């Protein structure tokens, strides 16, 4: 590639940004159709919890606008969306955006903590393993990674909870803060952090295993490259070689993977949030489906998809920054 003009990676990033609205539109239509196809509507979900007579059911349906046809409701929803109105959540009796914004920070904190843990642990141990491929440490770490990669996260969460919260009582089992005690400032932050340890471990360890394997594989490949061979022949110290050259190259795929895994991470948090009673977006989405709360589900899907798009954009830009020579999109020969 010539040095003139933006790098291919950067161009790719901009192209993705331009495509984002189309992608979002498809997502919104898909989510709407899915819930439209569901048996029973929000009123059925509501009266299932408390009963009521025929008039009651009819009134609710009129009140919630569910007597209108599906296309009408969808158009009304889109019209609202155009003015920034995400609609009204019938399940919570509040504006959708309020409900989502309440839960979003929790999921973001959990996802960020899990990613940080996975990245630090995964790359750190990956470098250790890849420093001497085939060595005893490599064998041990690789086996561990294989195992962690195969663990069902909800099961891991249950066992971690059983051990650290129920048996040892080192950590709280559920929720995100100690209820009834009103901490402020730093104390509150620490309290929340303590509550997030187990969910973060549960969510993060699986990805740590993934990154470990990725970094190790990259390093194994790097050791074979001509450049590193030449450097070794020149007698450059192994430790320096590992950190300066071999590991550095191996980190690039991890950055790509961070972007690719962002959607999976949100999906995984559904399970983890339910195991540890974390009031996040994932659990909210599951609730929206059970309550047939269409505007809420659409809102969540839009927010989640936007997040994923943003993360991918950031990753693209980061990639362009880290290695402008790499051409994305055509990695296979």
Partner 1 sequence: MSPALARFARDRAALVAAFLLLGLALAAAAAPLLWPVDPDAVGGPPLLRPFLDPAHPLGTDRLGRDVLARLLHGARLSLTVAVAAAAASSVLGAAVGLAAGLVGGRIDDLLMRITDAFQTVPGFLLALAFVSVFGPDARSVVLAIAASAWTGPARLIRAEIVALRGRDFVLAAIVAGLPRRDVALRVLLPNALPPVVAYAAVSVASAVLIEAALSFLGLADPNRASWGAMIAEGRAVLVSEPWLSILPGLALLSTVLAVNLVGEGLNEALAPRRARP
Partner 2 sequence: MRLTRRHLLATAASPLLFPTFPALAQQPRRGGVLVVAADTEPRNLNPALVASNGVFFVASKVIEPLAEMAYGEPGLTPRLALAFEGAPDGRSVTFRLRPGVRFHDGRPFTSADVAYCALELWKKHQNLGRVFFKDLEAVDTPDPLTAIFRFASPTPLQLVENALPALTAVVPRHLFEGTDPLTNPHNQKLVGTGPFRFVEHRPGQFYRLERNPDHWDAPKPWLDGIVYRVLPDRGAIAAALEAGEIQLAAFSAVPLADMKRLEKLPGIAVIDKGYEGITYQLTVEINHRRKELADVRVRRAIAHAIDPNFVVERIFLGWAKPATGPIPRFDRRFYTADVPTYPYDPKRAEALLDEAGLPRGPNGVRFSVELLPAPWFEHTRQMGDYLRQALKAVGIEAKLVVKDPAGHQKAVYTDHAFDLAIGSPVYRNDPAISTTILYQGGLPPGVPFSNQYGYADPAMDELIARAARTLDPAERAELYRRFQRLAAEQLPLIPVVEFTFLTVASTRVRGVADNPRWATSHWAETWLEA
Nearest distance, CB of residue 186 and partner 2, angstroms: 20
Q: Which is nearer to partner 1, 16 or 61 (CB)?
A: 16
Angle formed at CA 101 by CA 289 and CA 283, multiple of 5 degrees: 35
Size of the site for partner 1 (CB under 8 A): 54
Asked if 108 touches partner 2 (CB under 8 A), the answer is no
- Side-chain-side CA neighbours of residue 67 (13 Å): 7
Cα–Cα distance between 149 and 314 in angstroms, integer? 26
Cα–Cα distance between 195 and 173 in angstroms, integer? 7
Stretch that binds partner 1, among 30-38, 128-136, 230-238, 246-254 (CB under 8 A): 30-38
Cα–Cα distance between 158 and 251 in angstroms, integer? 32
Nearest distance, CB of residue 221 and partner 1, angstroms: 8
Q: Which is nearer to partner 2, 98 or 327 (CB)?
A: 98
Cα–Cα distance between 261 and 288 in angstroms, integer? 24
DSSP letters of 188-238? HHHHHHHHHHHHHHHHHHHHHHHHHHHHHHHHHHHHHSHHHHHHHHTT--H
Nearest distance, CB of residue 273 and partner 2, angstroms: 9
Q: What is the DSSP letter of 329?
A: T
Which residue in the block uniquely carries the two structure tokens 């990676």?
A: 9
Tell which one of 47, 70, 151, 318 touches partner 1 (CB under 8 A): 151
Q: Which of the choices partner 1, partner 2, none does residue 146 contact, using the CB cut-off of 5 to 8 A by kind? A: partner 1
Stretch that binds partner 1, among 83-91, 97-105, 233-241, 262-270 (CB under 8 A): 262-270
Tell the burial category of 97 from Cβ atoms under 10 Å away from its Cβ (0-12, 13-18, 19+).
middle
Q: Which of the choices partner 1, partner 2, none does residue 120 contact, using the CB cut-off of 5 to 8 A by kind? A: none
Asked if 264 touches partner 1 (CB under 8 A), the answer is yes
Asked if 50 touches partner 2 (CB under 8 A), the answer is yes
Cα–Cα distance between 138 and 308 in angstroms, integer? 33
Asked if 37 touches partner 2 (CB under 8 A), the answer is no
Tell which one of 41, 156, 265, 285 touches partner 2 (CB under 8 A): 41
Q: Which is nearer to partner 1, 78 or 289 (CB)?
A: 289
Cα–Cα distance between 100 and 220 in angstroms, integer? 44
Q: Which is nearer to partner 2, 24 or 154 (CB)?
A: 154
Angle formed at CA 299 by CA 298 and CA 302, multiple of 5 degrees: 85
The residues in 294-333 that bind partner 1, with binding defined as CB under 8 A, are 297, 301, 304-305, 308-309, 330-333
Tell which one of 176, 196, 197, 301 touches partner 2 (CB under 8 A): 176
Q: Which is nearer to partner 2, 151 or 277 (CB)?
A: 277
Stretch that binds partner 2, among 2-10, 94-102, 108-116, 258-266 (CB under 8 A): 94-102
The residues in 199-238 that bind partner 1, with binding defined as CB under 8 A, are 221, 224-226
231-260: buried (b, 16+ CB within 10 Å) or exposed (e) per residue? beeeeeeeeebbeebbbbbbbebbbbbbbe
Asked if 235 touches partner 2 (CB under 8 A), the answer is no
Asked if 27 touches partner 1 (CB under 8 A), the answer is yes
Tell which one of 208, 222, 266, 296 touches partner 1 (CB under 8 A): 266
Cα–Cα distance between 310 and 331 in angstroms, integer? 22
Tell which one of 115, 153, 200, 256 touches partner 1 (CB under 8 A): 153
């Amino acid at each position: 590639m010539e040095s003139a003009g933006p790098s291919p990676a950067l161009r790719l990033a901009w192209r993705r940004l331009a495509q984002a609205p189309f992608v979002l539109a498809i997502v919104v239509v898909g989510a709407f159709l899915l819930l439209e196809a569901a048996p029973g509507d929000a009123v059925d979900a509501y009266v299932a919890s408390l009963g009521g007579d025929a008039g009651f059911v009819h009134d609710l349906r009129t009140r919630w606008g569910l007597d209108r046809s599906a296309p009408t409701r969808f158009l009304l929803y889109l019209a609202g969306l155009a003015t920034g109105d995400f609609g009204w959540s019938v399940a919570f009796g509040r504006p959708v955006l309020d409900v989502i914004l309440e839960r979003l920070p929790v999921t973001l904190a959990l996802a960020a903590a899990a990613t940080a843990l996975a990245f630090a642990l995964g790359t750190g141990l990956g470098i250790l393993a890849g420093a001497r491929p085939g060595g005893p440490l490599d064998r041990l770490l690789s086996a561990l990674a294989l195992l962690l990669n195969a663990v069902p996260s909800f099961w891991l969460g249950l066992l971690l909870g059983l051990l650290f919260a129920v048996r040892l009582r080192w950590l709280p089992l559920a929720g995100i803060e100690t209820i009834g005690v009103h901490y402020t400032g730093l104390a509150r932050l620490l309290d929340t952090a303590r509550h997030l340890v187990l969910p973060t471990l549960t969510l993060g360890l699986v990805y740590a295993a993934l990154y470990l394997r990725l970094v190790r594989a990259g390093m194994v490949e790097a050791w074979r490259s001509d450049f590193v061979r030449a450097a070794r022949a020149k007698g450059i110290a192994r430790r320096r070689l590992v950190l300066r050259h071999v590991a550095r190259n191996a980190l690039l795929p991890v950055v790509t993977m961070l972007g690719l895994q962002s959607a999976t991470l949100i999906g995984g948090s559904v399970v983890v949030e339910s195991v540890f009673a974390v009031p996040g977006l994932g659990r909210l989405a599951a609730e929206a489906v059970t309550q047939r709360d269409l505007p809420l589900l659409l809102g969540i899907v839009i927010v989640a998809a936007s997040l994923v798009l943003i993360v991918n954009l950031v990753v693209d830009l980061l990639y362009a920054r880290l290695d402008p020579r790499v051409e994305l999109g055509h990695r296979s020969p």
